[in-house]
């Protein structure tokens, strides 16, 4: 009986390690979406407002109010893509607390739309392919770089974000 009890902590540690690895694998960007980020023929950056009255008449994108958007060219498009990837990398091992995106990146590739909605305050990223939600991943980092691109394009930013 003592031999069985002595083996129990080893079994629990091995199971916990295995579960952690499985969770990390589940938190990766779908392969098709990852490829689309690098093969995009067009990249758009959206400023979003997750907090609004239900009766608002403002245009919506994935059920969020669109404050504005801009089509990004070359270096700016690459910068936005890099921010999506950095948020995913920084979110590894974290868990999403909620989903309140204030920035969104749309990458068009191969006749499909790949949308990445970033919620820095909640440490989450929601991925859509052709308007179908396919993943919610942990994400982390700062919205500063994407906000800078939006400001340069004179697109208003959400005022509901926490500081």
* CATH number, domain 26-152: 3.30.1490
User: How confident is the model over 92-115, as pLDDT tens digits?
Assistant: 888 877 889 999 999 999 999 999
Task: Supply 51's token pair.
Answer: 């907090």
List Cβ neighbours of 76 (8 Å cut-off, separation of 6 or more): 149, 152
User: How confident is the model over 56-81, as pLDDT tens digits?
Assistant: 778 888 889 999 999 999 999 999 99
DSSP E strands: which ranges in 13-159? Answer: 42-49, 60-61, 64-72, 103-109, 112-119, 124-129, 132-138
Task: Supply 84's token pair.
Answer: 């999506």
Q: What is the pTM assigned to this prediction?
A: 0.80
Eight-class DSSP state of 117: E
Q: Where are the domains of the chain?
A: 26-152
Instruction: Encode 93-127: b = buried (16+ Cβ within 10 Å), e = exposed.
Output: eeebeebbbbbbbbbbbeeebbbbbbbbbbbbbbb
Task: Supply 44's token pair.
Answer: 């758009």
């Amino acid at each position: 009986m003592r031999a069985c009890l002595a083996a129990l902590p080893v079994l629990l540690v091995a199971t916990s390690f295995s579960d952690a690895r499985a969770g990390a694998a589940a938190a990766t960007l779908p392969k098709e979406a990852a490829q689309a980020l690098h093969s995009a023929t067009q990249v758009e950056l959206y400023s979003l407002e997750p907090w609004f009255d239900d009766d608002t008449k403002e245009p919506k994108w994935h059920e969020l109010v669109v404050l504005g958007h801009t089509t990004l060219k070359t270096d700016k498009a690459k910068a936005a893509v890099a921010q999506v990837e950095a948020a995913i990398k920084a979110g590894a091992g974290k868990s999403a607390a909620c989903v309140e995106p204030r920035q969104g990146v749309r990458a068009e590739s191969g006749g499909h739309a790949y949308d990445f909605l970033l919620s820095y305050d909640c440490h989450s990223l929601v991925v859509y392919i052709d308007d179908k939600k396919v993943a919610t991943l942990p994400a982390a980092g700062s919205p500063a770089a994407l906000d800078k691109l939006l400001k340069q394009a004179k697109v208003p930013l959400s005022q509901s974000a926490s500081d």
